Amino acid sequence: MNPLRRLIPIAFLLLACSVSSASAQDSVVVMQFRAIEAEGYRLSVPDNWRYIQGRGDGPDFHLELSGIAFPATFKDGPLIATVFLMPFDATDLDDAVIGTLDGYRKNADRVFETEKDEAYEYRLKDGSRASILKTRFFRKSKELHQIRYDLIVYSETAKKAYDLTFSIQFADPTYSIENEIDIEAGIKKLFGSFELK
């Protein structure tokens, strides 16, 4: 995958792109997508992302993106990009957000540079309220810096909260990856594919 600036988010969740053929006729290259469904949700992701089914005691699934939607290395260090989804108990969306934010800080493996995480209001395609959380920290066990985006959703039907997480880890302490790769554009497309059932 070509790691040129701004091209990665396009490959990250591009539904289709037009290319010119040698005969000057336009053709459409369509990526294959995988539908991921469970009792309370569905989303669609590129089929070439490595899919790992959960074992029932943690996330429902993991998707590995390193070397596929993102380069395997960044600034002479490893780059680890993953997506996973965790269902969890909560009474409503606000309770789910507070629980997630509290959970961030209880992990002794994480060193936070700032006191607060970023939080944004978000709407799913059906208009349901959701929140996007963004946090940055250093992972002592891996000796890598990490940016994590969480889409927090609460289903009134299932009476359950869902945390769809995108995580990217790297060695560069300056977090320059945020200026060199438009991560947020890809996040919007990923989170935009999530639906409650």
Write out the two tokens for 15: 């539904």
Q: What share of the chain is helix, strand, coil (3-state, %, to 5)?
A: 15, 45, 40
Q: Residue 67 has what pLDDT?
A: 93
Q: Are 44 and 193 spatial neighbours (Cβ–Cβ below 8 Å)? A: yes
Domain residue limits, the chain:
8-196
Given a cut of 90, whether residue 4 has pLDDT beyond it is: no
Please compute the mean of the pLDDT values over residues 57-61 and round it to a whole number.
Answer: 92
What's the predicted TM-score (pTM) here? 0.84
Write out the two tokens for 188: 């919007």
Q: Residue 113 has what pLDDT?
A: 86
Share of the chain above pLDDT 90, in %: 72
Given a cut of 70, whether residue 189 has pLDDT beyond it is: yes
Query: Considering only CA atoms, which of 183, 167, 169, 192 is closest in space to residue 86?
Result: 167
Q: Are 133 and 97 spatial neighbours (Cβ–Cβ below 8 Å)? A: yes
Give the model confidence (pLDDT) of 81-112 as tens digits: 999 999 999 999 999 999 999 888 899 999 99
Please compute the mean of the pLDDT values over residues 28-41 and round it to a whole number.
Answer: 83
CATH of range 8-196; options 2.40.37.10, 3.40.1000.10, 3.40.640.10, 3.30.70.360: 3.40.1000.10
